[in-house]
Amino acid sequence: MTPRFPRLAVAALFAVGALATAPAHAGKDLDAVKARGTLVCGVNTGLAGFSAADSQGRWSGLDVDYCRALAAAVLGDANKVRYSPLTAQQRFTALQSGEIDVLSRNTTWTLTRDASLGMHFVGVTFYDGQGFMVPRSLNVKSAKALRGATVCVQSGTTTELNLTDYSRANNLQLRPVVFEKQEAATGAYFSGRCQVFTTDASGLASVRSKEAAKPEDHVILPELISKEPLGPSIRRGDDEFFAIAKWVLNALLEAEEYGITQANIDQMKKDSKNPGVMRLLGSGTEDTGKVLGLDKEWAYRAIKAVGNYGEIFERHVGEKTPIGLPRGSNNLWTNGGLMYAPPVR
């Protein structure tokens, strides 16, 4: 004889089921974004491939496209973004104070930042590592040969701390020359004030392609001396906005897995019978937007606006751009990389 299920247990199960399908309630930051009708996005003051403005004031880059995707999902329009250029030292205060809604500024996810600065990292948009650039004329092949060299570095960054650790660990006696703004650090390097420039490897490639008079005269050394998982972050205190910010990034990654692009998204939305595609694009009966406090086409708008993650990467920093970075660790997990999105379902 099957024992009776206690009434309290049955009631609890029904309650859990109801909570699991309940729509999200907007938090204070999400409410503010919707009321303002504009997402305020903190970006780099100018780092080609990630966030940089052209002569007309139009922003572009990998970090910029994340903000555009988030605005498309929340506000229905990828253009409803106001960009706030910030130095490394300004960025966290700007987020903490409410000056910006989201920080999307090639920022490394670390324990200290995650646990003590009142912020949540949304995820990783670019796996990177710190490297060194030197003039080709120095004929240096390895960072281990830089003993006693002067190194231009930006203050208020993990880069500065990593440089000190690496120098001590390898007894290199490197001599940091510290600048508040990256433009000042790169300017000093190219003018010969420093023998070496250090930052994330992606930043080295960006600076070399955009700022060097002759990019071929500068060499990026092979060593990477740190882990630099870069990604956007938001303020703590609004779980609903945090969930949306995370799942917009996941949607861009999952779109690449399914082969959904800007060019074919409308056709796939119309014709695909793949349950995962239908769920992601809102073309089936399932409504993933409901639990986020959005409509069912939230991910469709984000992908339509900027493309999938692979398209964003190749458009701004890929091998066919002046920056010329291979996908490497930033490839999908199915192609040997680290990019892996939890399922949108």
Determine the distance from the C-alpha atom of residue 74 to the mean position of all C-alpha atoms in its chain, rounded to a whole number: 18
pLDDT at res. 151: 98
Which amino acid does the sequence have at 20? A
Give the architecture-level CATH label for domain 130-226.
3-Layer(aba) Sandwich (3.40)
Residues 48/210, Cβ–Cβ less than 8 Å: yes
Q: Where are the alpha helices (DSSP H) in 6-110?
A: 7-21, 28-36, 62-75, 91-97
pLDDT at res. 36: 98
Q: Does residue 17 register a pLDDT over 80?
A: no
pLDDT at res. 5: 44
- Cα separation values, 336 from 190, 222, 260, 331, Å: 36, 21, 20, 7
Here the tokens at position 302 are 């984000």
Q: Where in the chain is the domain with CATH 3.40.190.10?
A: 28-127+230-330, 130-226
Q: Does residue 317 register a pLDDT over 80?
A: yes
Determine the topology of domain 28-127+230-330 in CATH: D-Maltodextrin-Binding Protein; domain 2 (3.40.190)
Give the residue, 106 or 10, on which the prediction is more confident.
Answer: 106
Q: Does residue 105 register a pLDDT over 90?
A: yes
Q: Does residue 48 register a pLDDT over 80?
A: yes
User: For residue 148, is it left (φ>0), alpha (ψ between -120 and 50) or beta?
Assistant: left
Give the residue, 4 or 116, on which the prediction is more confident.
Answer: 116
Contacts of 18 (CB under 8 A, 6+ apart): none
pLDDT at res. 25: 61
Give the residue, 25 or 308, on which the prediction is more confident.
Answer: 308
pLDDT at res. 156: 87
Task: Tell me 2's DSSP state.
Answer: P
Task: Tell me 144's DSSP state.
Answer: G
- Cα separation values, 17 from 10, 11, 22, 25, Å: 11, 10, 9, 17
Query: Whole-angstrom Cα distance, residue 324 to residue 329?
Result: 15
* Edge-to-edge strand ranges of the sheet holding 119-121: 81-86, 39-44, 102-103, 233-235, 119-121
pLDDT at res. 27: 87
- Cα separation values, 117 from 15, 95, 151, 160, Å: 35, 9, 28, 19
Mean pLDDT estimate for the chain: 93
Q: Does residue 19 register a pLDDT over 90?
A: no
Over residues 327-342, the pLDDT tens digits come to 999 999 999 999 999 9
Here the tokens at position 70 are 């988030």
Contacts of 165 (CB under 8 A, 6+ apart): none
CA dihedral angle for residue 249, residue 270, residue 343, residue 102, rounded to 10 degrees: 20
Over residues 167-199, the pLDDT tens digits come to 999 999 999 999 998 899 999 999 999 999 999
Over residues 257-315, the pLDDT tens digits come to 999 999 999 999 999 999 999 999 999 999 999 999 999 999 999 999 999 999 999 99
- Tally the C-alpha atoms within 13 A of residue 69's C-alpha that lie toward its C-beta: 32
Over residues 68-78, the pLDDT tens digits come to 999 999 999 99
Q: Is 302 exposed, middle or buried (0-12, 13-18, 19+ CB in 10 A)?
A: buried
pLDDT at res. 15: 45
- DSSP code string of 192-226: TS-SEEEEEHHHHHHHHHHH-SSGGGEEE-S---S
Q: Does residue 16 register a pLDDT over 90?
A: no
Give the residue, 26 or 61, on which the prediction is more confident.
Answer: 61
